[in-house]
Amino acid sequence: MYYNSIIDTIGDTPLVKLNKVTRGIKGTVLVKVEYLNPGNSMKDRMAIKMIDDAEKAGIIKPGGTIIEGTSGNTGMGLALAAIAKGYKCIFTMADKQSMEKINILRAMGAEVVVCPTNVTPEDPRSYYSVARKLNKEIENSFYPNQYDNLSNTAAHYETTGPEIWRDTEGKITHYAAGVGTGGSMSGTAKYLKEQNSNLVTVGIDTYGSVFKKYKETGEFDAKEIYPYLTEGIGEDILPKNVDFSLIDYFVKVTDKDSAIMTRRLAREEGLFVGWSSGSAVFGALEWARQHLKEDDMMVIILPDHGTRYLNKIYNDEWMRAHGFLESQEFATAADIIHSQNGHGKLTTIEQDATVAEAVRLMDEKGISQLPVISEGTFVGSLTDKILLSKILNEPNLKQKKIKDVMDAPFQFVGLNNTLDVLSSALKDSHQAVMVRDENDEPHIITQHDILRTLMEK
């Protein structure tokens, strides 16, 4: 027996029982090993489905170009489809994605455009916007848009769900998966719930993403959005493929817990998986410890392979630099702001004030960073280092309004994040980050604050 092309080998991935990382958990926990797809991820399934459906609808014609915003794995699936069907590929990616993903896509003949991570989806520089722009400019191009293209969900409804039901002989009681575009969770959950209406679904989210709060409150809260390191799950938008009615519970997982579990899966279970696989397993097992019963069977999706992350979570130096391999307990953003109790209310300045007024205020308060506000909203920032550089070049600058010289607002980070997120944000040319406490009050965290808190521990 042989296959006519590599895309014919997509699907029918195995279920494997977890034995060591599940100690103390009742019931049976299985993982679906999606990295055994030819593109080493579950995204192969929906990539080929989106192209097949586009061909049937006449949206893409022979010799056309596939243009997509991707975190890497969808791009790989689309690249395989393009090779088999004779298309060209252009992919846009956020700069937080691993270099391995970028190099793999280029090796498959794709053009890769790297875009900044820390911009809004609507920003013309975002990888969403750049993909849409290229689609408009290039004739006979197809923008699959994995976030809103319902062929994504259909692919998993037609393949992943039936495979799990068949291979568990209908005994599955719980299904867990990371939620990014939402297709694998929603499509698989829809099929499984049609077979068993009592089946429980658990979506895994990350800190910095909007999903969990939106599910629980119906509110899209922009305050939930901040940079995080984990690739492939969570979003700062609400993709059409995320059907919240099919997801019973959400569990949030930190970058650190995800990374450590990813390495444990390799070391203890022989599963050399990607970062979001660690997220899915850690979050699912946290939920299972409280809820799974002896006769229950949970299936967790393992989305991709560890080769995508050799220079990140499988690199000891990178892990250590982010506080993931240290034995000491790292301070959280909460620890830092609680140690600032004697510092009083956050000092801010209105954007219509002058630069001279800002300098006087910074001198009076003994601070080096100053958030800029307008009508109660953070709209910019000032730092003494940048102000000094600008004033030296333009002495009359001190009479200008702050709104004419300010920089972008300081990034907001999560209250429970450790040095993984804090150090990354401060390392990227930012001198401070912001965080909201339990009462929604804003605070500023500087490099000095982090150093002082660590010295006190």
Please check whether residues 85 and 11 belong to one and the same domain: no
Please check whether residues 221 and 296 belong to one and the same domain: yes
Please check whether residues 37 and 55 belong to one and the same domain: no
Whichever domain contains 199, its CATH number is 3.40.50.1100
User: For 144-198, how does the pLDDT look when each residue is reduced to its tens digit (9 = 90+)?
Assistant: 999 999 999 999 999 999 999 999 999 999 999 999 999 999 999 999 999 999 9
Please check whether residues 164 and 244 belong to one and the same domain: yes
Integer Rg of the chain from CA: 24
Indicate whether 410 belongs to any domain: yes
* CB-based contact 322:229 (threshold 8 Å): yes
Among 142, 160, 175, the domain boundary falls at: 142
User: In the numeric block, which tokens belong to residue 244?
Assistant: 């919240």
Indicate whether 418 belongs to any domain: yes
136 φ/ψ angles, rounded to the nearest 5 degrees: -70, -35
pLDDT of residue 340: 67
Judge whether residue 412 has pLDDT over 70: yes
Please check whether residues 161 and 119 belong to one and the same domain: no
pTM across the whole model: 0.72
Please check whether residues 372 and 387 belong to one and the same domain: yes
Judge whether residue 434 has pLDDT over 50: yes
Indicate whether 354 belongs to any domain: yes
* CB-based contact 19:38 (threshold 8 Å): no
pLDDT of residue 425: 63
Q: Containing domain of residue 127, as a range?
A: 44-142
Please check whether residues 397 and 294 belong to one and the same domain: no
Please check whether residues 160 and 308 belong to one and the same domain: yes
Judge whether residue 424 has pLDDT over 70: no
Indicate whether 124 belongs to any domain: yes
Q: How confident is the model at residue 342 (pLDDT cuts 50, 70, 90)?
A: low
pLDDT of residue 327: 46
Whichever domain contains 414, its CATH number is 3.10.580.10
pLDDT of residue 417: 67
240 is an active site residue: no
User: For 117-144, how does the pLDDT look when each residue is reduced to its tens digit (9 = 90+)?
Assistant: 778 888 888 888 999 999 999 999 999 9
Task: Give the CA distances from residue 330 to residues 228, 325, 421, in Å, rounded to whole numbers and listed in that order.
Answer: 17, 11, 12
CA distance 264 to 283: 14
Share of the chain above pLDDT 90, in %: 58
Judge whether residue 294 has pLDDT over 70: yes
Indicate whether 422 belongs to any domain: yes
Count how many domains the chain has: 3
Please check whether residues 168 and 32 belong to one and the same domain: yes
Among 286, 321, 356, the domain boundary falls at: 321
Judge whether residue 354 has pLDDT over 80: yes
Please check whether residues 35 and 168 belong to one and the same domain: yes
* CB-based contact 257:229 (threshold 8 Å): no
- Residue the block writes with tokens 């280092």: 385
Among 270, 286, 321, the domain boundary falls at: 321
CB atoms within 10 A of CB 408: 13
Please check whether residues 246 and 204 belong to one and the same domain: yes
Indicate whether 1 belongs to any domain: no
Judge whether residue 241 has pLDDT over 90: yes
Please check whether residues 177 and 116 belong to one and the same domain: no
| Catalytic position from the list 43, 101, 193, 312 | 43
